[in-house]
Structure formats: structure tokens, C-alpha cells
Structure 1
Amino acid sequence: MAVPTARGGIHCQDGRVPRTIPFAVTARRRLRTGWQRWQGSWWQIMQCGLGAGIAWLLAQALWGQPYPVFATVAVVVCLGVQNNQRVRRVGELGVGVTIGVLLGTLVVHFVGRGPLQITAIVATAMFVARFLDSGILLVNQAALQAAFIVAYPPTAGGGGGGRWLDAMTGVVVALGVAALLPPDPRRDVRGRARAYAGQLADLLEDGADALRSRDAAKAEDVLNRARGTQTELEGWSQSVNAGQEVHRLSPLRRRGRGEIVRQKKLQAGMDRATRNLRVALRRVSTALKYDEPMPDSLAGALDGMAAAIRSLGEPPYPGETVPPSVAVLQELAVTLGPRTLGAESLSATVVVAQLRSAAVDLLQAQGVGAAEAHRLLPR
């Protein structure tokens, strides 16, 4: 029997975990998740709405189209709600939309509509798009728009090449909106950096706990989780690249270019450090599995590295000139010697070596020179 707890949760009197989650808990989670998605997408949604309206007005004014549906469709398809590589994505989708609408218009004009025409135009549009670019989005949009043109009769006054002009208008508006009114990329980059740093720090702390308790199963679990972090690391890299694209193309966002450059350097350093730390965690797992001697001081070193990574990117405290992560790394680096940490076995020595490399990588990523970083390490 499930009974409520003092904190509002539930548990079973016989100790079993209940199979269902209360509706109120599920509702709160969904509301929180939805709110977070909205916060991350509201600007892109406003861009889509604004761009669709502008494209409609322009198509009516320029081409005399009473119902320029394809102008608004092109804007919404091209812009969407994604941030990463947005201008390139808009260009890719724009080419696909344009190819599809143009080929579909030509087919309707010369051979009419029907199942054979649909078959031919979808295949042709995909062949042409695939020849021009390897992007899957471009190919799909070319086929979709071509099929829509052939299957959907034009409105009064909107036939012939008018629909192609509508689509071109929408693509141009989408490119303008993406280039001139992009969301601030720094927020997404910061969020990804914090999330990844926290994830890696958690892994190192769990690895330290496994080492202290000599828990080989936990160490193996930590290693498996560490191997699965590459997706988040690549997402951070893509966010940085998208930020560079925005600052290069948008005159309104060039003021924050310096931070994006620093984040790119930080991400590259974290990438190198992560590879070293995965090796360290693998040696911890191997040592515990085969009962090799591993000093507890290595657990403290892993915790120190976790603290440095968790504070990565934070500004110096008031009255200080050195960022907290650099300060922690400098204090940690002077202890990272095999003799200092009592590393006698092969696995322990490998862990120390990987921690040394990771410390140097992270110090360099935050502006410390290579020679200065290496001087901190014990000989």
C-alpha cells in the first residue's frame, strides 16, 4: 500500500517503490519542462511570426499575389526554432524550397497534374537537390515543395511563376531575419558550458567516491557514463560555432564576439582534458577490478579536478585577479606528482599522468601559457 510522505512523495509500507508517479508530480515536471522550452525558443518563434507577416506583405506588394501562401511557408520552414548553424540552415532550406517550387511550377505548366507527374517531380527534385548539396534538409524540402506545387491547385491570380516568386520572397526574408535579428548566442553557449562542466565534475566526484570505497562496480558505471559525454561536448562545440556565425553576419551581435572566442578556446581545452580524464577513470576502474593498490590521495586529486571544472568560466571574485577555476587548478597542479600522491602501481601512475595533462589543458584554455602551466607540475 502506498502512503504519502512528509515531503509530499509516496512510498510503499512493505518497502517497494510504487510503480506510478502521482499526477501532480508529472504535471509539475511537464509544466517546468514546457516553460524551459518556451524560454529557449520564444525569440525564434517571434522571428517566425514576424518574418511570415513581412513575407506576405512583400509578396503582395512586389508580385501582386492576393494569397502568397508560399512566401509564409518558406519563412516558417527556413527559420524554425533551432539555433545551431541557423544562417547556413536557412540557406540550405531556402535552396531546397526554391528548387522544389520552381520544378513543380514547370511541371504543372508543361505537363499538368497527376500521379505520374507527382512521381517524376519528387524524384527529379531530390536528384537535383542531392547533386547540389549533401544536406538531408535540402533534399527533403525540395521534394516536399515540388509535390505540394503539383498537388495543390493555385489560387486565383497565384498561378504560373508567381508561386516561385513567393517562395523566393520568403527565403530572402528568412535570410534577412536570421542574419539581422538572431538571438543572443552567448546564452546558449554559457548554458551548454555550465551543463557539461557540471556533468564532468559529477563523474569525477563519483569516480573519487568509488576509489575511496573500492567499489569496482561503481567505477565501471562512472566509466560508461564518461564514455557517453561526447554528444554533450559536441553540442557545446556546435553552439560555439553557431555563435561565431551569428557574430560574423549580424551587426547587432558583434559586441559579444570576444566571449564566443573565449568559449571556443575553453571548449577545445575541455575536449582535450575530457579525453585525458576518461583514460584516468578507465585506469581507476581497471585497478579496482583487479585489486591493484591505489592511494586515497588520488581520490582527493579527482575531487580537486572536479572543483576546478565546476567553476570553469566563472569570473574572478571581487578583489581577485585570477578566475576561481585557474586558482584551484594552480593549487592542484603542484600536488600532481607520482611521489607526492604516493602512486606506486602502474594504474596509479597513469591516473596521475592523465590528471597532469588535463590540468595543463584547462589552464591553457583559460589563458595560462604552456610553459607556466608545466612549471607548476612537480618533477
Structure 2
Amino acid sequence: MISSVMGAGVFRDLWFRAGARTLRYRMAGALGRLRANGGLILRKAVAAGVAWGVAHVLLGHQNPSFAAIAAIISLGAAAGREGRQAVELVLGVACGLAIADVFVSAIGSGAVQIGVVVALATAVALLIGESELLVTEAAVSALLMVTLVPASPAPFTGRFLDALIGSGMALAVRAVFPENPRRKVREAARPVFGELAGVLEEVAGALEAGDLEWAERALGRARAMDGRVEDLREALSSGYGASRLSPARRRALGELGFYSTAAGQLDLAVRNVRVLARAARALIRSGHPRAQGLPAAVRQLAGSVGALGVYLERLENPGEARALALEAAAGATAVLVEHKELETSMLVGQIRSTAVDLLQASGMSYTESLQALDEAAIKRTSEVQSAR
């Protein structure tokens, strides 16, 4: 009985500790999200407050909440867009809201009115321009107007001007308090480097153990990487838009250029690693003697990926990333001295291709990458042949 009670007490103690740790983790995550989005909170607060104040003080509108609404909608719609796209978006917001206000003032709101207002706002937006963003924002803004905001007695002299003030204020706030494009791109790049290195580590482990199931898991991870690369491309597009619109962020363009160059090559590297994982699976399935140098070469590729991520964040020296990529390619090529099976040759070819992608991502040209790789491979192969 006593031992049972003591056991229950220990269990409750462990349960409370686990709960406390979970709560701390969640609080830390929540605070991290709050810190990461502090700029967004500031931009929305300033845009809404200043838009309301300008419409109230300068235009004399008694309740210009519409200006604040338009500012928030426009700020969210224009996030990450180029300057021209941002202007089209805020114009669409103003257009859709104004049309909806006029229409609701005349016939009220309801299911039929919603359909008519959305169609009318879309048609007017198409008369202004053919941008899909412009048309979409006009329709969405009109829908919000019909469903959420009561009609105005003087729409054209009231809310339309409020919409223009709110939208213009969103652009101004976006220029004065822009997103940090470097941070956004770095955060999008880290999962790409981390996952790519992780896949290569798994491939190396599968080769070392001759484990077909392990190789299948690595291939599955490699196939799921496209979304992460696309997130990086979107972050780059958003970063370029913020940098070009805001003078305060123009200095970020240089760093974004390094990431832009790397992103294209990382896309190719992800595809090559996918083929590399398939080649590793084929080699394991074939049952041929596995060369000892191949797992080491794949692990060196993983190290090169990690070093490349560090280089892009610090922009110090890509030497480590390049050295590891060359070492991987040279070591894999030297394996062919003793192992000439088709499956081995295919895997070596993919290791070399991935190494070239990583060298180019570090800033080397295609010609320079091939030349450096061939020199390293010839040297290593000669050393292996001399040692036999």
C-alpha cells in the first residue's frame, strides 16, 4: 500500500514536471513569435492609427474607421510585393470598398447584393488594369464591405477618401518601417540547408549499413524538399520587394544577391540529391560490395551543405564549403578505381553533380567548379592507384 502511494506520488511529480516543461516550451515559442513579428505589429498599429488621425483631423470625418480598415487590409495585401504590385493592390482595395459602399447605400446587403457587388467590383477593377492581384483585392474588399461595415450617407466624399488615405498610409508605413528582408530570407534558407544535409546524412548511413529501408526513408525526405525551396524563393521575392521600396533596406540587396545565386543552385542540388538517394537505394538493392569511400563522400557533401549555410549567413569565406565538396567528389571518383559496377558509377556521378551545384552556390562559375573538381579527382585517383 505504501509503495503504491509512493509510486502514485512519484508519477504525479513526474507528470507535473512534464507539464511545466511543456508550458515553458509553449511560452518560449509564443514569446519567440511575438519578438519575430514585432515589426508587423508596429506597422499595423502605426498605419491604422495615423490613417484614422489624418482622416479625422484633415478631412473632418467624425468616425473614419474605414481609413484604418483600408490601411490594415492594404498593408497585409502589399506585404512582400514589388512597388508596382503594391500600388495595384491598394488601388484594388480602395476601388472595391468604395463600390461596395455606394451599392450597399442604395440597396442594402444580402446574398444577392454580395454577388452583385463582387461582380461589379471585379468588372471595374478589370477596367482599371488586368492584374490578377488588383482584381482579387477589389473583389475581397467589396465582400468585406458588404458583410462587415454599415453603409455611409456620403460614400464618395467619405469612405472613398478614407480608403485612399488608408491605402496610401499603408504604403508609407511599409516604406518607413519595412520588413527585415535579410532575416526573412535567412529563416527560409535554414530549413533548406538543414533538411538537405539531413537527407545526405541518412543516405550515408544507409550506404554504410546496407539498409534498404533506411535508403527508402532518405529518398522520401528528398522528395519532400521542393516546398522548402519554394519557400526560400518566395522569401527572396518578398525581400527584394521590401528592399527596393524602402531606402532603409537598399543595403540588403547585396546580401540577397548571394542568396539568390545560391537558391538556384540549391534547387538543382535538391534534385540531384533526390537522384543520388535513388542511386544509393539501387546500389544497396543490387547486393554488390559497397565501397567504403562512398558513405564518407556523401557525409562530406552534407558537411559542405552545412558550411555553405554558415557562409551565406556570415559572408566570411566559402573555403570550407568548397573544400568539403571537392573532397567528396574526389573521394567518390577514386572509388571507381576498384569498383566499376553500373550502380556504383551512377552514385559517383550524382555525388560529383551535387558537388558542382554546391561549388556554384558558393559563388564559383560552372567552368571554375568543373576545373577544380577534375583537378581534385585526378589527384586523389593518382594517389589511390599509387598506393595499390
Q: 2 CA distance for matches of 1:128 and 1:159?
A: 17
What is the correspondence of 1:93-172 to structure 2 with a 5 Å cutoff? 93-109=89-105, 111-115=106-110, 116-129=112-125, 132-135=130-133, 138=137, 140-148=139-147, 152-154=150-152, 159-172=155-168
CA distance in 2, matches of 1:4, 1:277: 51
Distance 2:14 2:342 in 1: 48
Q: TM-score, normalised by structure 2?
A: 0.82
What does residue range 219-368 of structure 1 map to in structure 2 within 5 Å?
219-315=215-311, 322-337=318-333, 339-340=335-336, 342-368=338-364
CA 1:74–1:292 in 2, change beyond 3 Å: closer, same or farther? farther
What is the CA–CA distance in structure 2 between the aligned matches of 1:284 and 1:211, rounded to whole Å?
7
Provide the C-alpha distance between the structure 2 equivalents of 1:333 and 1:118, rounded to a whole number of angstroms. Answer: 62
Contact 2:243/2:252, CA 8 A, preserved across alignment:
yes
What amino acid is aligned across from residue 229 of structure 1 in structure 2?
M
Task: Map Cα deviations across residues 87-123 of structure 1 (whole Å, 9 max, x no partner).
Answer: 57744542332122221233245x3324343442133
Structure 1 residues 82, 204: closer, same or farther in 2, change over 3 A?
Answer: farther
Determine the C-alpha separation between the residues in 2 that align with 1:144 and 1:106: 13
How far apart are the structure 2 equivalents of 1:303 and 1:180? 45
Aligned pairs for 1:19-30 within 5 A: 22-30=18-26
CA change 1:103–1:298 in 2 (3 A) is same
Q: Tell me which moved more, 330-339 or 275-284.
A: 330-339
- Would the aligned equivalents of 1:125 and 1:139 in 2 still touch at CA under 8 Å? yes
Tell whether the 8 Å contact from 1:335 to 1:341 is kept in structure 2 after alignment.
no
2:49 to 43, 53, 63: 53
The unaligned stretches of length 5 or more in structure 2 are 379-388
Q: 2:367 & 2:14 partners in 1: Cα distance?
A: 55
Name the CA shift for 1:286/1:140 in 2 (closer, same or farther; >3 Å): farther
The structural deviation recorded for 1:51 is: 0.9
Q: Secondary structure at the match of 2:291?
A: coil
- 2:270 aligned partner, one-letter code: T
Give 2:295's aligned amino acid: A
Aligned residue runs from structure 1 range 188-227, under 5 A: 188-227=184-223
- AA matched with 1:173: M
| Partner SS for 2:287 | coil
Distance 1:372 1:140 in 2: 52
Q: Which runs of 5+ in 1 are unaligned?
A: 11-20
Range that drifts further, 132-141 or 349-358: 132-141
Alpha-carbon distance in 1 for matches of 2:276, 2:360 = 20
Alpha-carbon distance in structure 1 between the residues aligned to 2:10 and 2:347? 44
The answer on whether the counterparts of 2:204 and 2:295 sit within 8 Å (CA) in structure 1 is yes
Q: Return the alpha-carbon distance in structure 1 between the equivalents of residues 193 and 306 of structure 2.
A: 5
Q: In the comparison of the two structures, how many residue pairs are matched? A: 363
Cα displacement (A) at 1:59: 1.3
Which has the larger helix fraction? Answer: 2
Q: How far apart, CA to CA, are the structure 2 residues paired with 1:72 and 1:288? A: 63
8 Å contact 1:122–1:147 — kept in the other structure? no
SS at match of 2:253: helix
TM-score, length-scaled by structure 1: 0.84
Structure 1 position 339, deviation (Å): 4.2
* RMSD (CA atoms): 3.3
